[in-house]
Amino acid sequence: MNSQAVLEFARGPFFYFALLFMLFGLAFRLFSVISLGWSRDRVSPMGSKTKGVVVTFLKAFLIWPFIPWVKNTFNRNPLIYIGGGLFHLSLFVVIILGTPHMLVWKSLIGFGWATLPLPIVDWMSAIGIIAMVILLINRRIHPVLKLISGPAEFFAWLFVFLPMLTGYMMTHHIGGSYEALYARHMITVDVLMIWIPLSRISHFVFYFFSRAIHGQEFGKRGVAV
Amino acid sequence: MPEETIKKNLVDKGVSRRDFLKLSGLLAAAMGMQLPPLQESGLPMSLGTPVRGAQTEHAILHALETKMRLPVIWLEFQDCTGCTEAVSRSVSPSLTNLVLNTLTIEYHETLSAAAGYQVEQAKQEAMKKYAGQYILVVEGSIPLANDGAYCVIGGRTALEHLKEAASGAAAIIAVGNCAAYGGLPKAKPNPTDAKGVWEIITDKPVVNISGCPAIPEATTGTIAHFAIFGTLPELDNLNRPKTFYGKTVHDRCLRRPFYEAGKFALSFDDEGAREGHCLYKLGCKGPTTYNACASIKWDQGLSFPVQSGHPCLGCSEPNFWDGGGFYQGQSAPLDRPTVAAVGAAVGAGAALGIGAALVNQSRKKAKKGGS
Amino acid sequence: MMSTTEKAMEAFVHETGGWVAAQLEACTRCGMCAEACHFYQATGNPEYAPVWKMELLRRAYEQRFTIIGGVKATLGLDKRVTDEDLAHWSDLNYEACTVCNKCSMVCPMGIDIGSLLHGMRAGLAAAEVIPADLAAAVTKQVNEGSPLGMTDTVWDQRLEWVADEWEVEIPRDVKGATTMVVFSSIEVMKFPANVAAIAKILNKAGEKWTVSSKAREIVNFGFYEGSEEHTKLFLNRVLDGAKDLGVKRIVVTECGHAYDALRWHAANWIPEASNFDVIHITGVLGELVGSGRIKIKPGFFDNGGKITFHDACKIQRKGGHIQEPRDILKVLAPNSFTEMTPNREESVCCGGGGGVIAVKAADPVRYASFELKIDQVNAVGAKTVSMTCSNCRLQFTDSVDHFKLDWKVAGLSQMVADALEE
C-alpha cells in the first residue's frame, strides 16, 4: 500500500470509525458512572454550593493555570505544575488555534475561527513535546509517580505523545514525503481517539464532575475553594 | 508515413536547423535530462533557453535525426476529451506541437478525419502493421459494470477495445486521471464501476500521466522519451514519471512563503486573497498533490490554478474527487459522520453504559442483602 | 464464610456510587496530592501519597465495575486485592492519614480525596482489618459509651468535680433547654478546664443550655474507624439525647472528627439529624462575641508573647469556622496575634487527627509530621498556639512534651473564658 492510500484510509474510514468509537466509548464511560446512583445530600449547608462550584471553576480556568504559585504545594514540586500546565496549554493552542486543526473542527462542526501563525503554533507544539518528555522522565524517577504508574500510564503517555511527535515531524517534513508523514500523523491520531475511552485520558469528561463536587463540598461549608 | 525520420519530417515542414537544435535542447530539458533541469528552476518551459553544449542535448539531436516517426493509437473511453484538448491546443513553436508533428497518429476518435466503419478498419490495419511497435495512449476510464455496457464503441465494449489494442502495444500511456486512476467516472458511487488502465492491463508497462487534464508537456514529454530512447521514463509508485510528478504543487508553489508565515486567504474576495496569500484554508490540496503545475504551469507557462487564485483540487491524485470537499481544508477528515451516526454512537454508548450501571447497582444491592 | 478480602471488596463496592466513581475516574495519577500530605512531606515515603492510600478502592471499583478493569485483572495487568494488601493499606490509612483533606486542595482535578479515603476506611473496617488499639477504643465506646473509659459514673464524677473546682454551674438534663452541649471525653478527661470555660461562657451569655447524661460523648470512634454501623450507633446516642430533652440545637465542643460526622454527614445517614441545628463551639463563640452577648477584654493576651492560631482540618477546612477564631483573636491579642503560613483552609494538619493519635504504632510518623508544625510555629516565633480542637490539642501537648518545646497550647474557648468581662 502506498502512503497516499494509507492516508486515505487514515483520513477516511479509520478516522470515521475512531471518532464514532471515541464518542461511543465516552458515552459508555460517562453513563456507566453517572447511572450508578447519586444519593441526595440532606445536610443543611452553611454556604452556597452554587457559589462554590462557580468559584472553583473560575479559579481552575483563570487563576491556577496562569499563576500556579498561589498554591503553596507549587514550591514543593514545580516541575509537575509547569510541565503538566505547559503540556495542556500546548495541546489547547495546537488543536484549537492551529490552522490545520481548526479546519478539522470546521469540517466537523460547520464553523471555523481565526488561527495563530504557524511559527507560534510550532513553538507551542515543541514546548508540548519537551514537556511530555520531561513528564515521562519525571514519572520514571519520582518515587510517588514510580509507585502509582503501571503499563496503563505509559500507554496513555505514548498514545498522546505520538500524534504530537508525528504532527511536529509533518510540519517540518522530517522523515518522509508529506503524505507519508500525514498518514502517520492521522493513524496516531486515530489510535489516540480509540484509546481515549479505554484509558484515563478520558479524565476531561470526569473533570467537570470532580471539580463540581469539590466546589460543592467546600461551598456548602462556606470555605474558600 | 512513419518510415521517414523525425528530422526529415521537420525539415520538410520548413523547420530550420537552428530551430531544430533549440527544440532538441527543449526536449532534453522537459524530460529533466539536463542540469539544472529547466523545470526545476520553476521557469515556464517554453520561455526557457536551452543550455548549449550539454551531452544530453546531443543524444537527443542524434536520436531525432535517426529515429523513425512513432506510430500512436489513441483510444478514448469514459472521458471528456479534455486531455486531447490540452495537447492539441498547444501552439507553435512549442514543444508540444513539435512532438505532435513527430508522431503519426494512426487512430484518434476526435482528430481523425474518417469516421465510423472506415476509421475502425484503419485502426485494425495499423495495429496489424505496427504490432509490437506502436504506443497506445488511453484517455478515459474503463467501465466494467453491466459487462461494460456503459461505454460501447462500434458494438464492442471499452474493455474489449483496450485489451485488443494493449496486446500489440510497445508501451501504454494512460493520459488523464480517468485513464490513470478512474477519475471522475470512478467518483462515489461509481455507478459504472470505472477502472484505470493499470488496474486492467497488468502484463505491460503502463505510464500514468494523471491530471485533469494532464499537463500536455507531461504527455508529450513522456511520448518523446519513448520515441527517442525506446524506453519509458523512471516512474513513481503510482506509475507517474518522476520528472513531472516528483514534487508536490505545495513544494513549488509561489504562495508557499505565506503558508509558512501563517497568512491565509479566508475567502475568495478578502484582503488575503487580493494580497496573494496561501489558499490552504480555502481547501488547497497542494501539499499532497504531486504534479508539475507550479513549475511548468499552463498555457505556455502563463499561470496555474493556485497562481490564478484558486486552490489546487489535487487532480493528479487517485480518488481526488472524493478527497473531501474542494473548498474544505486539506486536514479535514474525508468522511464526516452525520448527526444520526453520532447520535447512534452516543446513544448506544449511553444505553450500554446505563445497562452496565444497572447491573453494577443490582450487584451492590444483592451483596448488601446477602451480607 | 466470606473471606476478609471479600468483605472489604464488598464494602468498597457498596461505597461506590456515582459520586465516588466519577471522582475515581477523574484521577489522572499525576501524584500531586503527595505534595500536600504532611506525612509524605515529613517522611518522603511514597506510599503515603493520598492517591496510593486509596489504591484498593480504585482496584475494587475498576475490577468489579468496569469492563476494562475486569479484563486487566483477568490478564494479570492489574493486581487483585489480597489479605496482605488489606493489612498493608490498613497501616497506611490508619497510621499515616488524618483524613484532613488537604490533598483535595491541590488536586488539579478537584477530587475530594478525603471522602474517598474515608471510603477506604469503610472497606477496611468492614473487613475488620484495623489497628488493634483503634479497635479496642471502638469496642470500649460501644460498651462503655466512651473510648476513654468515661462511663456514666466517671462522667458524673468528673462534671461534679469540674463544677466544684471552677465554681461553675453545669445544667444537666434540663428538658426544654434550647441548646444541648456535648463534650468530648478528651475534654472531660484531659482538658477539664475547657469544660468549665464553655460552661462559664454559656452561662454568661444567658444561654438556655444543658448537657445530657445520655448524649455525654461526642467523640465518634466509629467515624475514625470508617464503620457506618458504629458511626450511626454513636451518632444516635447523641441524637436520642437531644430528642429526649427536646433541644433545638446541638453544640459540638472542641472535637473535629465528631463535628464532621454530626454536622456534615449525620443527616445523610439518619434523617432525624436534620431536625437539629448542629454547630461547633467555635461558631457559638463567634456568634456570642460578634453579637455582643458576651464581652471580652480587648488585648487581654497581648502581653505573653506572640500568639498564633492552628487551623484544624475538621473544624476549619472541613468545618467552615475559619473566620470566627480570627475575629476573636484580633480582639484578644490585636498586637501579638500572627498568622502562620500556610493558614486557613490551606493549613497544615497537626498530624494527630483521624484516630492517628490513638494508634501507638503511628507514633514515629505522628511526631515526624509534627515537625512541620514546629517549623511553621517557629517561623512566626509564637509562644502560644491557640486552637479549637481538643484532638489537635492532644497532639500538640503530647508533641510539645516529646520535643521539649516551650510553647503554651491553648484552647480558644478557654482563652475567651479567661478574658470575659465581668
Mean pLDDT split into 10-residue runs, chain A, 225 residues: 82 94 95 88 88 90 79 79 91 92 89 86 95 94 92 93 95 85 94 95 93 91 83
To the nearest 10°, the Cα dihedral for B245, B248, B251, B253? 100
Are the CB atoms for B186 and B319 separated by under 8 Å?
yes
Domains C4-130 and C135-288 belong to one CATH topology = no
Cell (9 digits) for B265: 486567504
What grid cell was written down for C12? Answer: 468498597
Furthest C-alpha separation in chain A? 66
pLDDT, position A16: 94
pLDDT of residue B78: 95
CATH code of the region C295-418? 3.40.50
CA distance B248 to chain A (A): 9
Residue of B238, B278, B288, B339 for testing the chain A interface, max A β-carbons within 10 Å: B288
- If one counts every other C-beta atom within 10 angstroms of the C-beta of residue C165, the result is 11
Q: Could A210 and C18 be called an inter-chain contact, meaning their C-beta atoms sit closer than 8 Å?
A: no
Q: Is C13 within 8 Å of B356 when comparing Cβ atoms?
A: no
Please tell me if residue B116 touches chain A, with a CB cutoff of 8 Å: no
Say if B149 is an interface residue toward chain A (CB within 8 Å): no
Give all chains having 3 or more CB-to-CB distances under 8 Å with chain C: A, B
Q: Which residues face B142 on adjacent strands?
A: B195
Instruction: For an interface test with C, give the residue of A29, A144, A153 to mutate (most C CBs within 10 A).
Output: A144
Cβ–Cβ gap C18/A46 under 8 Å = no
Q: What is the average pLDDT across C84-99?
A: 93
Residue of C nearest to B360 (CA): C65
CA proximity to B221, closest of B212, B234, B236, B202: B234
Question: Which residue from A142, A152, A210 is facing C22, i.e. has the nearest CB?
Answer: A210
Cβ neighbours of B352 in C, within 8 Å: none
From the CA atom positions of chain A, what is the Rg in Å?
20
pTM above 0.95, yes or no: no
Express each pLDDT in C212-255 by its tens digit: 998 989 999 999 999 989 999 999 999 999 999 999 999 999 88
Residues ≥6 apart with Cβ < 8 Å to C368: C39, C42, C43
pLDDT tens digits, C254-281: 888 899 999 999 998 999 898 999 999 9
Distance CA B318, CA B305 (A): 19
What percentage of residues in chain C have a pLDDT greater than 90?
70
CA distance A60 to chain C (A): 8
Q: Omega before C334 cis (within 30°)?
A: no
CB contact under 8 Å between A203 and C28, yes or no, is: yes
Of the partner residues B360, B367, B371, the one whose CB lies closest to the CB of residue C65: B360
Residue-level pLDDT at B96: 56
Which residue positions in chain B have pLDDT lower than 70? Answer: 1-4, 25-61, 64, 90-102, 366-371
Neighbouring C-beta atoms of residue B344, cutoff 10 Å: 15
Q: What are phi and psi of B157, to 5 degrees?
A: -75, 160
Q: What are B70's strand-pairing partners?
A: B103
Pairing mode, if any, of strands B152-153 and C337-338?
unpaired
Selected residue of A26, A33, A138 to mutate for chain C interface (largest C Cβ count, 10 A): A33
Chains sharing 3 or more CB pairs under 8 A with chain B: A, C
Nearest-CB residue to B331 (from A23, A37, A103): A103
Which residues of C are less than 8 Å from B359 in CB distance? none
d(CA A18, CA A24): 10
Q: List C-alpha distances in Å: B291 to A177, B238, B333.
A: 14, 12, 23
Q: Which residue(s) pair with C386 in the sheet?
A: C309, C410
Question: Going from the N-terminus, what domains does chain B have, and what CATH number goes with each?
Answer: 70-245 (3.40.50.700), 248-349 (4.10.480.10)
How many Å lie between the alpha carbon of B323 and the closest alpha carbon of chain C?
Answer: 36
| Closest in A16, A101, A103 to B337, CB measured | A16
Pick among C14, C62, C66, C67 to test the B interface (most B CBs inside 10 A) = C14
C49 contact residues in A (CB cutoff 8 A): 144, 147-148
Q: Which residue type does C320 have?
A: G
Chain A residue whose CA is closest to C50: A144
Q: Is the dihedral of CA A83, A89, A94, A98 positive or negative?
A: negative
Please name the amino acid found at residue B307.
Q
Nearest to A209 among C22, C108, C319 (CB): C22
Q: Which of residues 102 through 121 in chain C touch A, CB cutoff 8 A?
A: 104-112, 115
Q: Is CATH 3.40.1000 the right assignment for the domain spanning C4-130? A: no
**Closest by Cα among B138, A148, A168, A16 to C51:** A148
Chain C residues within 8 A of B364 when measuring between CB atoms: 13-14, 16
User: Which run of H or E residues covers position A107?
Assistant: helix A99-109
* Complex prediction ipTM: 0.90
The beta-carbon neighbor of C46 closest among A84, A143, A221 is: A143
Q: How close C73 gets to chain B, by Cα (Å)?
A: 17
For chain C, domain boundaries:
4-130, 135-288, 295-418
List CB contacts (< 8 A) between A37 and chain B. 357, 361
Asked whether the beta carbons of B139 and B84 are under 8 A apart, the reply is yes
Residue from the list A26, A37, A112 with its beta carbon closest to the beta carbon of B349:
A26
Residues in a beta bridge with A128: none
Q: How many CB pairs under 8 A join B and C?
A: 17
H/E element, C408: strand C408-411
**Residue A107 is nearest to which of B250, B263, B332, comparing CB atoms?**
B332
Q: Which residues contact C292 (CB under 8 A, 6 or more apart)?
A: none
Q: Is the domain covering C135-288 a CATH 1.20.1050 domain?
A: yes
3-state DSSP assignment of residue A140: helix
Q: DSSP strand E in C99-240: where? A: 179-182, 209-210
**Partner chains of A (3+ C-beta pairs under 8 Å):** B, C
